[in-house]
Each structure stands twice: as structure tokens, then as C-alpha cells.
Amino acid sequence: MTDQPPTDREADLEARIAELERRSSWRTTVDEGRSGMETAFWAMVHTVFPDEARKHLKAATREQLLAARVYLDKWVARLDEAPTEAAGRTHEKIEIE
């Protein structure tokens, strides 16, 4: 190995290798537990969208999930309230002859 600084070509190749390794490790993490179509979709998103755009997409997805959580929590609260509303009602027994 020489003590000369790397040429532009060598630096470019090292940068490309580092990018491929980063993508490879990302795909391995993403592929676990996903369908083939979902994996292909996220691979495309990762390839097409720059890091900044993916950051915003992730934040938007998080906000949508938080909105869904609020909606579902409201439904759960209504279900929890339903028995107490019925408890205040009285029933009258009617005998039929």
C-alpha cells in the first residue's frame, strides 16, 4: 500500500461502495417481515427519494398513524361508556296472560 492520497477515481469508487453497503444494510433491515410488493415499494422509495424527502414522508406517516390512534381511542372510550349508560335504565316486567 502506498502513502499517496487516493485519486479522484479511487475516491469515487470508495464512495459508491459505501453507498451500496448502506443500501444493502437498509434493505436487509426493511425486508424482514414484509411482503415482496411492500419491500419493492420501499426499495423504490429509498432509491428515488432523497434523504430529506424520506424524512418528511416518515413524519407524515407518523402523523397519520397518530390521527388514527386518536380516532380509535375515541371508539374504545365509547365502548367503555356503553355499559354504564345501560346500567341507569330500569326494566319493567310485564306479565302476559
Taking only the tens place, the pLDDT of each residue in 35-78 is 788 888 878 888 888 889 989 988 999 999 999 999 999 999 99
Domain boundaries, the chain: 8-48, 50-86
Instruction: Kindly tell me if the per-residue pLDDT of 1 is higher than 70.
Output: no
Q: Torsion angle, CA of 97/86/67/26, rounded to 10 degrees? A: -80
Of the candidates 57, 52, 65, 25, which has an alpha carbon nearest to the alpha carbon of residue 41? 57
Q: Torsion angle, CA of 9/11/12/18, rounded to 10 degrees? A: 150
